[in-house]
Amino acid sequence: MLKPTIILATSNGVGMGHLARASAVALALKDVANPIIVSMAGGIAEIPSFLGIRCEYIPGRDRLWMSREKWDKYLRDRLLALVDETGAKVLSFDGVVPYPGVIAAKNSNPMLKLVWVRRGLWQKKPQRFILGLQAAMMDTIIEPGDIARAYDFGPTSRREDSILTSPVSLFRKEDAMSRDDARRALGLDLRRPAAVVQLGTGDSDVNHKMTAALEGLIGWKDVQVILTKAPVDKDGNSLAPLGLDIKTVRYFPLAKVLHAFDAGICATGYNGVHELLPAQVPTVFVSNIRGTDDQEARARWCNDFGYALRADQGDLSNITETVRKLQDPEIRAKLSSKCAELAATTGGSEIAEILLKLATQEKLAKTKTFTFLRLMVQDHINRGLRHVANLGIRRLALVYRYLNPHIVVQVTQQAPPIFGDTTNSDELRELIKSATRFEHLISNASPAYRARREEIAKEAYGDLVEIIKR
């Protein structure tokens, strides 16, 4: 019997939560199905080399490579082409808002079963107002469990339209390296203490949090500070204080080497919490309040029940002071011991089982044309309301920019897109980051699929398209 193909699509969120969950599900599916991950997140570059899972990068609408209307159709056509190429019967989407293109793909192919992996702990953002319509378009909704679910009072917490699973994590005790092996893999000293910092960089407030956290590690004798991204701002200026031994590493999945660390400082995203704590890494959480994820609620739960320390994300001195507590071996031992009480994070396998059942059952997917039309109308209304609200902001921005002009930089090169099916992480990472449009194809694609993808690209980009293959 042929293994069924299941497409796992993710949005481009603030962190790696969506992609990490999809990776965990894909790993659980590998022996019984053919999982394919498609994502707008640049982190997808790490998937094929390290996990051996076929994948495709889809440029998000934030790349501004085409208009919003064209992007919706482009996404729909990309997904439908992949479904035709692979014979997939199930499309799973992990993201806060199912894009119109995702829902349009389901509406265009009634045989396709659409699943929404909808994380809980939402903040009360405008997206909550169309939850009902979005939910009605789905064949199944799955809520990946959250260890802090008791503190979830957001708009999804009162709904009864989803299947709740255990938390999802890429950390698995049986696969995790030992302390010494993990340190060797990362090139760390076996005898010195090590702390991992996963706060990211970007806007000034995020950069200030990074600096404040690093300052809290000053004075920890012989500590090795490990970052997954260089501590520099957009202009290349260092965010790291003097006096620290800092090493930037790239390792995916990081969950496999978490036993290397004596402490962690991390944003309170789904991914970080459900990897660091099950790995029993003593952690300080510094929440990122952007996006829909209610990281502050998750941080409060972790702190209130003694699983981690919560720093006040709005108080830089408190961040430094809280991180400094990790230098105390007694505090670290207490936190690590408490984390041993956490339940197993087996949600990836549970979701894989649900998707496999959908892919192999004879029951047809639900046709919901009227609901789809209502949702598309609402989406256009929401865009209009956002447009009106943004007009005032834009005018203020124009006044500011007139007083403070800046050099205009062309973000997207007006050149033919590059088509490629590389699975090399370094090459894929550079192509995704490039200003030149990049059309990624799954490995071992058929000539017919390549031809269809060229048609889709030409429709999206215009006559600019000349095929450049790599």
Tell me the average pLDDT across 417-432: 94
Tell me the average pLDDT across 306-320: 97
pLDDT of 433 above 80: yes
pLDDT of 267 above 90: yes
pLDDT of 382 above 60: no
Tell me the average pLDDT across 298-307: 98
Gap between the Cα atoms of 168 and 374, Å rounded: 33
Grade residue 386 by pLDDT with cuts at 50, 70 and 90: very low
Grade residue 30 by pLDDT with cuts at 50, 70 and 90: very high
Pinpoint the residues of the chain covered by CATH 3.40.50.2000.
Answer: 5-168+350-469, 179-343
Residues 6+ apart with CB under 8 A from 72: 99, 100, 101, 104
pLDDT of 385 above 70: no
SS3 328: coil
pLDDT of 201 reads 77
pLDDT of 27 reads 96
Tell me the average pLDDT across 357-369: 73
Residue with tokens 């260092």: 238
8 A C-beta contact, residue 146 and residue 298: yes
- Which amino acid does the sequence have at 58? I
CA atoms within 13 A on the CB side of 227: 19
pLDDT of 24 reads 97
pLDDT of 389 above 60: no
pLDDT, one tens digit per residue, over 342-355 is: 999 999 999 999 99
pLDDT of 125 reads 79
Inter-CA distances, 166 with 81, 156, 172, 352, Å: 33, 17, 14, 12
pLDDT of 368 reads 57
8 A C-beta contact, residue 19 and residue 56: no
pLDDT of 413 reads 52
pLDDT of 321 reads 98
pLDDT of 332 above 80: yes
SS3 386: helix
Grade residue 318 by pLDDT with cuts at 50, 70 and 90: very high
Domain 179-343, CATH = 3.40.50.2000
φ/ψ bin of 286: left (φ > 0), alpha (ψ from -120 to 50), beta (otherwise)? beta
Grade residue 452 by pLDDT with cuts at 50, 70 and 90: very high
Q: What is the DSSP string of 238-271?
A: B-SPTT-EEEE---SSGGGGGGG-SEEEE---HH
State the first-to-last Cα distance of the chain, in angstroms, to the nearest integer: 34
Tell me the average pLDDT across 380-384: 47
pLDDT of 129 above 80: no
Inter-CA distances, 183 with 179, 189, 297, 339, 414, Å: 6, 7, 33, 22, 44
Grade residue 214 by pLDDT with cuts at 50, 70 and 90: very high
Lowest model confidence (mean pLDDT) among 26-30, 93-97, 309-313, 392-396: 392-396
8 A C-beta contact, residue 313 and residue 294: no
Tell me the average pLDDT across 220-228: 97
pLDDT of 401 above 70: no
Grade residue 205 by pLDDT with cuts at 50, 70 and 90: confident
pLDDT of 113 above 90: yes
pLDDT of 202 reads 77
Residue 229 φ then ψ, to 5°:
-145, 135
Residue with tokens 């995020």: 206
Q: Which fold has domain 5-168+350-469?
A: Rossmann fold (3.40.50)
Average pLDDT, the chain: 88
